[in-house]
Amino acid sequence: MADSMPMFPLNTVVFPGMTVPLHVFEERYRALVDHLLEVPDPGQRVFGTVAIREGYEVGDHGAQSIYRVGCTLQLTEVEPRPDGSFDVVAVGRDRLLLDRMEPGGDYPHGLASVVVEPRVRVEEQVLDRARATFTAYRAAMAQLQGDPFSGTLPRDPDYLAWTLSAIAPLPMAERQSLLEAPDSQERLELVTHLLREELRAINVIPSLPATQVARTAWSPN
C-alpha cells in the first residue's frame, strides 16, 4: 500500500546501503529537513528519492521527468549552517515504488510504497564471476586513477549486489536498470555484464569511465 512520503529527487541513482551527502539550501528542501527533524525517533527520519530522468534538482521548474523506482533514505547527520541551509548525510535503506508526486505542501512529497526484496539463492558461479570481474576492473582502474574501492567486498549476495551496483561507474540509465533488477541474481549478472563492457572499453581506449559515483557528490538542490 502506498503512503505519503517526503521526496527529494536527485540527479543520481541511489542504492540501499549507499551514503549520500547533500547540501540543502533550497527553501522547499530546507522545509523537508525541518519536518524530518521534528520526528522524535531518529530511525523514522525517512524520506524517498528517485532519479531525475529530465530536468534539474533546483529551480522553479525542477524535475520534468523522474523514474518511478527509487530508494528510501534515513537522515543520519544534520549540520545547520548560518545561512539557514543544511549539510546532511543520509543512508539508503530500501527500494521504493513511486505511484505519483502530490501537489501542494511546504516540501515535495509523493505516494510511494517500499519494495519487498525477494530472497533468492544466488548461484555460486554468478557470485564468482561478479567478484572476478570486479577484481579485474579494479586492477585496470588502479593503473589509471587509483583504486576505486576501499575495503573488501561483502560475502552476502544481496549486499554484494548492492555494493557493486553502487560503485559501478555507469551512466544513469544503466544504474537505474540495476536498481530495477528484480532480485540479487539478476542484478549481479547485469552488473557483471556492464563491468565487462567497461573493461573492454578501457582496453581499447585507456581513458576514464563515464561517471564516478561510488559515493555521490555534494548535491546542489
**3-state secondary structure at position 46:** strand
Residue 105's CATH number: 2.30.130.40
Does some domain include residue 200? Answer: yes
Contact 145, 67 (CB under 8 A): no
Q: What is the pLDDT of residue 133?
A: 95
Instruction: Show the domain range for 70.
Output: 3-116
pLDDT tens-digit profile, the chain (221 residues): 789 999 999 999 999 999 999 999 999 999 999 999 999 999 999 999 999 988 655 455 555 689 999 999 999 999 999 999 999 999 999 999 999 999 999 999 999 999 999 989 999 999 999 999 999 998 888 887 777 677 789 999 999 999 999 988 899 999 999 999 999 999 999 999 999 998 888 776 555 554 443 333 333 34
In the block, cell 525517533 appears at 41
For residues 63 and 149, membership in a common domain is answered with no
- How many whole angstroms separate alpha carbon 149 and alpha carbon 112? 32
Q: What is the pLDDT of residue 195?
A: 94
Residue 188's CATH number: 1.20.58
